[in-house]
Amino acid sequence: MKNFVRKLVLVMSVVILTLPIFTSTVQAETTEPEINATAGMVFDEQTGQVIYQKDADEKLAIGSITKIITLYLVTKAINNGQISEKDQITPTQAQASMTQKNELTNVRLDADKSYSVKDLYDAAWIVSSNSAAMMLADKVAGSQKNFVKRMRQTLKDWGIKGAQIYNVSGLNNSDLDSDMYLGTKDGENKLSVNDIGIIVKHVLDQYPEILQTTSQAKLSFPVGNETKEYESLNLLLKGNRDYQEGYEFDGLKTGTTEAAGESFVGTLPFNNTRIVTIVLNAQGEKADKDKRFRSTQNLVHYLKDNYERKEILKKNQSITINNKKYKTYEPVYTWLPKNYNVEDISYNVSNNKLGFTAINDKKTVKVLINSNGSSYLPFKKTDVKKTIHKKAVHKSWWDQIVEFFNHLF
């Protein structure tokens, strides 16, 4: 009997000692989404709050995700009146020939035909037409090389460092003619997940109407003497193969090259805000064309299952930061892990554009929220260079007479 009791105590001791191990294992499994990709992120586009990130600083090939920058600058040119959606553009022979290559083609372009800026813009967004993006870049900047310089400057203006941008399409330079890129013959565009997050926030903050284009599941495009329909490459759109009810994706851009693998930047309205997902180089079988979208779905399911968007402060509510009292300008919402104690939240005055607005002694500041399991995009304040106009000096009539005679001799 004594031996039995000893054995029972021993067994119970082992069970008790190993319980924390099993518990921590179960908890660990719920803290990471299964994205099966080299890098990834999910963030709130309105606030810049990052809910999950993986290897967010690593520079990776991005393929046609490049076109988010390209088409941002085209959108800007249209809005500024530099070009019109009705303008007609004729492809070069090289641009038209590219659309005949199986590995580079989607919509067919003919060198003896003109296409509207609107049709090319839609084709570049919806089915990622490389030649359409090139034609638009030529139209806006006079050449693709000049346009790449604008892309680089835009990223610098947004505080993005170390970006590798060589062409407007996202292809490897080896697939392009020499007048279609800057850099070496084998150069490939590379950005980090953080870089892409900053870009997407700038683009959607400034031109949310882009989503009217990217949400289209089909493209109608003039080919020869008829109009052909092409399916969007975004398989998460309603009506497409990977659509899931309740997850209404309306953008944004796929990216595929040998170096980039299969990547995707997605966005959808969710819980009265807008969520952005990033998956770079999804892993899996080459024949599996759904892997980047499955990883994307895992990100939003992870968000829904583990987090909730809560109102943590009401309008005109006071908070204290470094012994100073601030009053909120409007209700404040943030994503928190489920069952998170709101009392554990602290606040910091922001040094960039992100955060909610608060007022201290008539001074307005941005405030960031500190909570477990989240951070913010490294979203820098854009420096606007002011043009200094020299004040004109008006000379007296006597000074003008003296100056006139001085110039005679």
Q: Taking residues 289-309, report their average pLDDT.
A: 97
Which residues does residue 191 pair with via DSSP β-bridges, in sequence order? 60
- What does the alpha-carbon distance between residue 146 and residue 378 come to, in Å, rounded to a whole number? 28
With cut-offs at 50, 70 and 90, classify the pLDDT of residue 28.
very low
CA distances for 71 relative to 23, 137, 138, 377, angstroms? 48, 9, 12, 22
| Residue 380 confidence (pLDDT) | 75
Burial class (CB in 10 A: 0-12, 13-18, 19+), 382: exposed
371 is an active site residue:
no
Burial 209-243 (b: 16+ CB within 10 A, else e): ebbebbbbeebebbeeeeeeebbbbbbbbeebebb
Q: What is the pTM of this model?
A: 0.86
Task: Please tell me which residue in 2, 13, 54, 67 is annotated as part of the active site.
Answer: 67
Q: Which CATH superfamily is domain 37-307 in?
A: DD-peptidase/beta-lactamase superfamily (3.40.710.10)
- What does the alpha-carbon distance between residue 53 and residue 36 come to, in Å, rounded to a whole number? 13
Return all residues near 226 (Cβ < 8 A) that are at least 6 apart. Answer: none
* SS3 of residue 321 by DSSP: strand
User: Mean pLDDT lowest for which of 13-17, 97-101, 141-145?
Assistant: 13-17
pLDDT per position as a tens digit, 200-251 = 999 999 999 999 999 999 999 999 889 999 999 999 999 999 999 999 999 9
- What does the alpha-carbon distance between residue 268 and residue 61 come to, in Å, rounded to a whole number? 24
pLDDT per position as a tens digit, 171-194 = 999 999 999 999 999 999 999 999
pLDDT per position as a tens digit, 331-360 = 999 999 999 999 999 999 998 889 999 998
Q: Taking residues 160-178, report their average pLDDT.
A: 97
| Residue 101 confidence (pLDDT) | 78
64 is an active site residue:
yes
| Residue 160 confidence (pLDDT) | 98
- Please name which of 91, 122, 146 lies closest in space to residue 216, comparing C-alpha atoms: 122
pLDDT per position as a tens digit, 80-91 = 999 999 999 999
> Is 70 exceeded by the pLDDT of residue 136?
yes
- What does the alpha-carbon distance between residue 143 and residue 132 come to, in Å, rounded to a whole number? 14
Which has more confidence, 97 or 386?
Answer: 97
> Is 70 exceeded by the pLDDT of residue 330?
yes
| Residue 187 confidence (pLDDT) | 97
Asked if residue 14 lies in contact with residue 22, where contact means CB atoms within 8 angstroms, the answer is no
> Is 80 exceeded by the pLDDT of residue 29?
no
Question: Could you state, in order of their start, the residue ranges of all structural domains in the chain?
Answer: 37-307
186 Ramachandran zone, left/alpha/beta (phi>0; psi -120 to 50): alpha
What value does the CA radius of gyration of the chain take, rounded to a whole number of Å? 27
With cut-offs at 50, 70 and 90, classify the pLDDT of residue 117.
very high
pLDDT per position as a tens digit, 244-286 = 999 999 999 999 999 999 999 999 999 999 999 999 999 999 9
User: Mean pLDDT lowest for which of 26-35, 36-45, 48-57, 262-271?
Assistant: 26-35
| Residue 106 confidence (pLDDT) | 81
**Enclosing H/E stretch for 214:** helix 211-214
Binding residues: 253
| Residue 103 confidence (pLDDT) | 63
Q: At 124, which amino acid appears?
A: A
| Residue 384 confidence (pLDDT) | 37
318 is an active site residue:
no
Mean pLDDT of the chain: 88
| Residue 102 confidence (pLDDT) | 67
- What does the alpha-carbon distance between residue 152 and residue 162 come to, in Å, rounded to a whole number? 10
Task: Please tell me which residue in 54, 128, 201, 371 is annotated as part of the active site.
Answer: 128
> Is 80 exceeded by the pLDDT of residue 381?
no
> Is 70 exceeded by the pLDDT of residue 149?
yes
Task: Please tell me which residue in 2, 7, 24, 64 is annotated as part of the active site.
Answer: 64
Binding residues for substrate: 253
